[in-house]
Every structure is written in structure tokens, then in C-alpha cells.
A = this chain, B = another copy of it.
Amino acid sequence: MKYEQADALNGAIRVIAIRHRARAAAKLAELGLHPGHEAILLLLDAYGPQTQKQLAVGAGCEPPSITLMVRKLEAAGLLSRRSSTQDARAVVVALTDQGRAVIAPLKELWRDLADETVASLTSTSAEQLLAVLTDLANGLRRPLAGDGSGSPASGDGSGRPLAGDGSV
């Protein structure tokens, strides 16, 4: 594609990332949260207790990032950590009562942010936006086309942890 289009595309992603994060930060601050924390809390709410590895996959970031955020959320009393009974290497993270109490306002805040985001559109429908973004996000999730490191990844490739019986 032409450079002008490429720059417009990359630049748009850049500014979307920065601005959307800024708006999320402003809203999350009302709950004492920082951007990224909501991903962990919402994953725990949606799929139950999980290991940090599962959280990393679900949140789309690397384990070291999870370590620090989980530590802070634990310090804030929103979640608990215990080592897995099946695997002594793994740490199982779960919401505390205090953490569960923040889920409802968090979800409302999260919906407001999405509503504001689509409200800023001038020539695109919400359905279009969601379709295009999910397509793009799914495409970017996998490492790189033609990576060659054969491993077909464990599980179903959905990147989502299974709702479970807590046997982690």
C-alpha cells in the first residue's frame, strides 16, 4: 500500500491506543484502578480463579506484567493468591469479596467507555467498528504469519481460559 495510507493506518492505531487508554484511566481512577487492572478483574469474574499464566494469555500481555499488577491488586485487597495444589509452580488468583464488590461498577464504567467510544464516530456504525476491531485484534493475536516456530499452541487456540471447576 502507499506510504500515506500506511502512515495513516499506523498513526490511527497509535492515537486510538493512547486516547482510549487515557479515557479508560480517567474512569478507572474513580475505582482506584489503573489501566490493565480491569482486564484481570473481568477475566476472573468471567472465568473464575485462574493461574497467572492463564491471565497473561487472556489479557494479551506477558507474565511479568501480570506479576506486578496482581501484586498491586492483592495489596488493594481485590484478589487473593494461593499456590496451586496440582502444580506447586503455579499461583492461582481469585477475586476476594472486596474484588467481587467492584465488578458491578467496573462493568458499568466499561460499558460507558464503549458507549463514548462509539459516540465519537461520525461515519461508522457500532457494528462496523466492533466487526473491524475484533477482526484486527484476532489477526494480531497470533505471533506473526510465517513465524515457523511450529508449536501449534496448547488448547483450542482461543486464548481464553476455560470456565472451570477450580481445579487449577
Which B residues are in CB contact (< 8 Å) with A117?
Answer: 9-10, 13, 136, 139-140
Is there an interface contact between B9 and A129, defined as CB atoms closer than 8 Å? yes
Is there an interface contact between A1 and B132, defined as CB atoms closer than 8 Å? no
Q: Count of chain A residues with Cβ under 8 Å from any Cβ of B?
A: 59
- Tell me if A137 is interfacial: C-beta within 8 Å of chain B: yes
- Tell me if A11 is interfacial: C-beta within 8 Å of chain B: yes
Number of copies: 2
- Complexed CA–CA distance, A21 and B60 (Å): 13
Known: A12-B130, A19-B137. 19 other contacts (CB 8 A): A3-B111, A5-B126, A6-B115, A7-B110, A8-B130, A8-B134, A9-B117, A10-B24, A10-B110, A11-B39, A12-B137, A13-B117, A13-B137, A17-B17, A18-B60, A122-B135, A123-B131, A128-B128, A132-B133
Dominant SS among interface residues on chain A: helix
- Tell me if A33 is interfacial: C-beta within 8 Å of chain B: no
- Tell me if A15 is interfacial: C-beta within 8 Å of chain B: yes
Which B residues are in CB contact (< 8 Å) with A139?
Answer: 117, 119-122
- Tell me if A82 is interfacial: C-beta within 8 Å of chain B: no
- Tell me if A107 is interfacial: C-beta within 8 Å of chain B: yes
- Complexed CA–CA distance, A121 and B1 (Å): 15
Which B residues are in CB contact (< 8 Å) with A118?
Answer: 1, 9
Q: Point out the residue from B12, B61, B138 that lies within 8 Å of A122, measured CB to CB.
A: B138
- With A118-B1, A126-B1, A130-B5 as contacts: A136 and B60 at CB distance below 8 Å: no
- Tell me if A72 is interfacial: C-beta within 8 Å of chain B: no
